[in-house]
Amino acid sequence: MASDSFSAQTKLAADVVARARRHAMCMLHQSSLYKWRYRGAPIEQLVLVPQDLRTADPSFASEIYHGHFGLAGAVGRTGSKSPFEIFPPTPDWAAELHGFGWMRHLRAAGDKISREHARSLVRDWIAINGAIGGLAWRPDIVARRIISWLSHISIVLDGADQAFYDDVMESLSRQVRYLRASLHDIPADAVRLRALTSLMLTGLCTDEHTIDYEAFTRQFAHEAGSQIMADGGHVTRNPVVLIELLLDFLPLRQCFIVRDQPPPVALTSVIDRMMPMLRFFRLGDGGLARFNGTGPTAIDEVVNVLAYDDAEGAPVTYAEPSGYCRLSQGKTVLIADVGRPPPMAVSRRAHAGCLSFEMSSGLHPVIVNCGSLNHIKKEWHHVSRTTAAHSTLSVGNASSSQFVALPILGESTARSRLIGPDTVAASTRNDDEIIDLQAAHDGYASRFGLTHTRSLRLLNKGTRLEGEDVMTAVPERLADGAPALGTISFALRFHLHPSVRAELANDAKSALLVLPNREGWRLVTRSGSLRVEESVFLATMSGRNRSQQIVVTGSYDGGADMRLMWRLEQSAKPPSKRRAKTATEAGEAAHELPLEEN
């Protein structure tokens, strides 16, 4: 255990040192010593405006016109001031403000007042934040702002005088030169792919000799090859990253076509791989399964992206490189996490949800994970990442992954890195009648001396799910002379979507789940003690909603295998017409999930 901890701390320290170097270089690039590098001839002409596939809300224009700037779950009340002059309510709010993604709402409004307001806000930003430095010039925000300006520049420049036009072009040019100089100091994750996308877009959308986008195309090929796995998943294992990237990649591909140039092979290749993987992660309601940092899904944006999927291929059952399985039969869809955590360097949003699953019936999510949302309070970030926040087995009030941080260097628990499980194995069998998934991990081996194996079987045209969770003492524990394992508590959790109501049966061996359409499912087990408890669902724009969970608890002494057998079956008897309030309707407050012991 001490050796594992030392190794984890050593790896983390090396990563923190590399991150500190990148931060120092970023600060150097913002200093007066480097600002001469960002001078030069400005962009003179825009020849193309890329399409923004993100959903726009025209009512937002009216809200900000009246001094209410709602971003990232917070509202900045501007009064008579510019939003760039007020103290930001949260860091996430400030990041979205300076990213200018909200300009699409002003463009959607399509009236003269919105155009004038957009022009005024861009003018304010140039006057207040045009000098390089501060949060507004963080590379990921600069990349987002360049894409936003290019996509919605028409409402800014429509009717503008020459002086303002020149100011915008000069500012855009400086941002592009700054991002180009900072590129190698950006972490090798989705942010770097977005930065490269913004630089390639600039080259395509401006006069031909301004930006050498061919050099960035070569770098893009390298990054895409490193980050997008063979099955189309992203190295972070976060499903929502696919949407974030495709919303940028698809307009980029279209710009190549409009400029009568063949899109780079690397670009078309990753899009072709990512589209089926996006379909893979969709549940029956059209949203994405909540694994490894995924929160609420903008379903209309998913639809917008998938409209560009020409192949429309059926998702695979086992996406082995990404570490996920999808079982689909009848109107039931089940998606399970059967992979190791992502590399430590990109694991700060990853969750300890190994062998957890989500399930939907028709249009309704049934079994879920608690999910995540960037702008929830910091204490909830850590709670959402624990195994207890997932529909799987947790042992000893601990998580299947270890959270490692270096507080002395400013690492917070909420953004700690994940270590383990070291070994995760999975296999599937699929025929016309039954779909089987067998998976196991060793995340509890070093701390508790046991492994967790989960079997899931979907049958009867998707109306029956049979499950078995097994705890097995590792061979070393069974050898002669091995210390006693002792009694260890366990909890098998099934978190329910807030729209699902659960009722415990009189014998406390089953629970009836009632969906919004009055469809009933019954969860039955003869193992352990079954209870219906409160839970919390974090994957909502409001931050958190009250929900329920079914919990099976007991203890394991390390002897023979501990087998927990359960089944979830569509109820033949229709539920009562009397409708109780769902957990969401009952109120927004929620009890915290159990915090794990160290």
The pLDDT value given to residue 572: 64
Q: Which long-range contacts (CB under 8 A, 24 or more apart) does 378-384 make?
A: 378/412, 378/414, 379/414, 380/538, 380/543, 380/544, 381/414, 381/415, 382/413, 382/414, 382/416, 382/595, 383/592, 383/593, 383/595, 384/351, 384/538
Residues paired with residue 484 on neighbouring β-strands, in sequence order: none
pLDDT in tens, 472-503: 998 775 554 445 567 899 999 999 999 999 99
Residues sharing a CB contact under 8 Å with residue 265, sequence separation 6 or more, in sequence order: 221
Biggest alpha carbon–alpha carbon distance for the chain: 86
Mean pLDDT over residues 270-283, rounded? 96
Does the pLDDT of residue 580 top 70, yes or no? no
Q: Three-state SS for 251?
A: helix
Give dist(CA 340, CA 549) in Å, integer: 25
Give dist(CA 292, CA 294) in Å, integer: 6
Share of the chain above pLDDT 90, in %: 69
Mean pLDDT over residues 97-105, rounded? 97
Mean pLDDT over residues 562-585, rounded? 69
Beta carbons of 92 and 72 less than 8 angstroms apart: yes
Does the pLDDT of residue 80 top 50, yes or no? yes
Does the pLDDT of residue 249 top 50, yes or no? yes
Residue ranges and CATH numbers for the domains of the chain are 52-185 (no CATH), 187-314 (no CATH), 335-574 (2.70.98.70)
- The better pLDDT of the pair 578, 270 is held by 270
Give the least confident one: 133-137, 279-283, 375-379, 512-516: 375-379
Give dist(CA 536, CA 542) in Å, integer: 12
Q: What's the mean per-residue pLDDT of the chain?
A: 87
Question: What are the backbone angles phi and psi of residue 441, rounded to the nearest 5°?
Answer: -145, 160
- The better pLDDT of the pair 578, 184 is held by 184
Question: What are the backbone angles phi and psi of residue 484, rounded to the nearest 5°?
Answer: -65, 140
| DSSP designation for 344 | G
Does the pLDDT of residue 100 top 70, yes or no? yes
The pLDDT value given to residue 30: 52
The pLDDT value given to residue 40: 52
The pLDDT value given to residue 507: 87
Does the pLDDT of residue 598 top 50, yes or no? no
The pLDDT value given to residue 27: 47
Beta carbons of 299 and 365 less than 8 angstroms apart: no
Mean pLDDT over residues 175-184, rounded? 92
pLDDT confidence band for 17 (50 / 70 / 90):
very low
| DSSP designation for 261 | -
Give the least confident one: 9-23, 257-271, 411-425: 9-23
Question: What are the backbone angles phi and psi of residue 518, rounded to the nearest 5°?
Answer: 70, 10
Residues paired with residue 360 on neighbouring β-strands, in sequence order: 333, 365
Share of the chain above pLDDT 70, in %: 85
Does the pLDDT of residue 1 top 50, yes or no? no
* Residue 442 CA neighbour count, 13 Å, CB half: 10
pLDDT confidence band for 378 (50 / 70 / 90):
confident
Give the least confident one: 225-234, 270-279, 412-421: 412-421
Does the pLDDT of residue 104 top 80, yes or no? yes
Mean pLDDT over residues 287-296, rounded? 96
Mean pLDDT over residues 528-546, rounded? 91
- The token pair at 320 is 């082995």
Does the pLDDT of residue 217 top 50, yes or no? yes
Beta carbons of 173 and 40 less than 8 angstroms apart: yes
The pLDDT value given to residue 251: 97
Does the pLDDT of residue 112 top 80, yes or no? yes
- Residues composing the chain: 598
The pLDDT value given to residue 201: 94
Residue with tokens 């022009």: 119
pLDDT confidence band for 21 (50 / 70 / 90):
very low
Q: How far is CA 70 from CA 84, 86, 102, 481, 591, in A?
A: 14, 13, 10, 63, 27
Mean pLDDT over residues 560-566, rounded? 94
Mean pLDDT over residues 292-308, rounded? 95
| DSSP designation for 506 | T
* Residue 382 CA neighbour count, 13 Å, CB half: 18
User: Angle at which helices 299-306 and 239-258 pack, to 10 degrees?
Assistant: 40
The pLDDT value given to residue 311: 74
